[in-house]
Structure 1
Amino acid sequence: MPYVRHWLRNSILLFATAIALGLVAAHTELIQPHDLQLDRTIQTNTRTGWLNHVMEGVSALASPIAGLLILAVWSGWLLFVRRKPTKAVATFLVVAVGWNSTQIAKALVARPRPPRQFMLDPEIGSNSFPSGHTAFTVAAVIAAYFLLRETRHRRTVLVLGVFAVLLIAFSRMYVGAHYPTDTFGSVLIAGSAITFVTGVWHTWLLPQLHRVPLMERYGLTQEREALAREAAAAQGVAYVPGQTRAGAPGTPAGGGRHRKHAGR
């Protein structure tokens, strides 16, 4: 997981921007009529029988049940199969926090869902702003990019990730569950939460990860040694096996909190 400079300030600014957008959209007439008009344009001009089923299926791929299964399988594979506990925990945190941060925004903004008569499958439950489905997709794409950002697949992840986010966002408007502002707000909310997580990770969580017995059992020390070796090579500094920072084994001396490869 990369370290983001000024992570606290940036996360607060992003979150405040998203909440302000949501409040304006939900409680004034500046955005609401345009949101509803765009929703109705999409639904009127594109809905057909076969596409209805496709878009409902696409939307279900980022549903709460599907999201939980994807997150559990992904994190479990990294931990138990790949034996990469640092990456497993980091991936879990990025997706879980980025996704569930929407619940805070939903409570603060309290925007009602679009009119039920326009929904293919009427939604019940939480408020409309922001879209949890879209936020899950954003968080999953960012987590995948963090894992692969130093490989030749990073551009592929970005391209496919942007497509996935747009597709899920479109599907949520298509089925009538969200306004356009809801899906855009999800990007801001998830981005703010993940920015916050990167700072907490490097400041508090990563240095203490070795204290969890399960982490050592599944190869934490070996993973940290490999990461530290890569970080030292990228920085052009000497790697000292077993060197620690704040109790975290395998961290190269002098790396600091701003090192590029730390605790991916």
Structure 2
Amino acid sequence: MSLESLNLQLFHSINAPITASSLDIYFGIFMANDTLYLLIVGLLMTWFLGRYTSKALVLQAIITTIIALLIGYVVSLIFPHPRPFVIDVGQTLIPHAATASFPSNHMLIFSSIALCYLFAKQTKIGVALLTLALMVAWARIYVGVHFPLDMLGGFIIAMLTNLMVRQLWPRYQQQIMDLALKIYQFFFAFFLNKGIFR
């Protein structure tokens, strides 16, 4: 069996069946679309309310994610792969542009952040985020906008990017944090002075 055949077979085993209940469909769409906003809110709250070490980890996670997304974009240009609905495969539950399917940006984002926390020995948060990443991966396939290999590719890129950034971060953390905190203190001085933010 070829890799593409396996990819297609796995897709059909996960993608929403025609007989899917409305509850399953609602849950799949929520996980595929809305969890990203919850993740962003969580990172913002951690930055606004967390101490220096928490802020540094948030910033490291964001930088890692941005680099991973850039690498993912280059990979998508080199190895373009159509989305399931473009080749009329499976059931599609949400609208999506016909952009390259591989790798999954959602998986890149969730995995990059989850692995960043795991490597920083923030095990409980890291495991929770990685579990969420896997649920999002399932959901993106379930709603018909990605293949399983898109998720695997996203995870591998996130892992490699984390390993690279972890080697460089100790050297540049202080300079990056100093700049980030200056910008933060300039724009949010009112909230900081009132003790609303840290």
Give me the TM-score of the superposition, normalised by structure 1: 0.57
Relative distance call for 1:58 and 1:145 in structure 2 (3 A) is same
CA RMSD in angstroms comes to 3.1
* Alpha-carbon contact 1:111-1:128 (below 8 Å) kept: yes
Equivalent position SS for 2:134: helix
Please name the residue that 2:93 is paired with.
120
> 1:86 Cα shift?
3.1
In structure 1, distance between residues paired with 2:165 and 2:6: 34
C-alpha deviation, 1:183, in angstroms: 0.7
**Corresponding residue number in structure 2 for 1:135:** 108
Tell me the equivalent position of 2:12.
40
Partner of 1:106: 76
| Match of residue 167, structure 2, among 199, 212, 219 | 199
Give the letter for the 1:187 counterpart: F
Work out whether residues 99 and 139 of structure 1, in 8 Å CA contact, stay in contact via their aligned partners in 2.
Answer: no
| Matching residue of 1:182 | 150
Residue aligning to 2:23: 50
Which of 1 and 2 has greater Rg?
Answer: 1
In 2, Cα distance between equivalents of 1:176 and 1:81: 37
| 1:62 Cα deviation after fit | 4.7
Distance change in 2, residues 1:83/1:125 (3 Å): farther
- By how many angstroms is 1:74 displaced? 1.7
In structure 2, which of residues 61, 71, 75 is the aligned counterpart of residue 91 of structure 1? 61
Q: Distance in 2 between matches of 1:108 and 1:213?
A: 34
* Alignment-mate amino acid for residue 118 of structure 2: Y
Q: Is the 8 A contact 1:99 1:132 kept in 2?
A: yes
Show the 5 A alignment for 1:1-264: 30-43=2-15, 44=17, 47-63=20-36, 66=37, 70=40, 74-75=43-44, 77-78=46-47, 80-84=48-52, 85-116=55-86, 117=88, 118-146=91-119, 149=121, 154=123, 156-203=124-171, 205-209=172-176, 212=179, 214-215=181-182
Q: Which has the higher helix share?
A: 2
Identity of aligned residues (%): 21
**Structure 1 pair 210–45 and aligned structure 2 pair: CA distance change class (3 A):** closer
Q: Whole-Å Cα distance in 1 between the matches of residues 105 and 138 of structure 2? A: 13
Q: Shift of the alpha carbon at 1:37?
A: 2.2
Letter in structure 1 aligned against 2:154: S
Against the structure 1 CA distance between its residues 105 and 163, is the aligned structure 2 distance closer, same or farther, given a 3 Å change threshold?
same
| Deviation, structure 1 residue 100 | 4.5
State how far apart, in whole Å, the 2-side matches of 1:108 and 1:46 are: 37
Q: Could you tell me how far apart the structure 1 residues matched to 2:9 and 2:57 are?
A: 43
How far apart in 1 are the matches of 2:94 and 2:184? Answer: 46
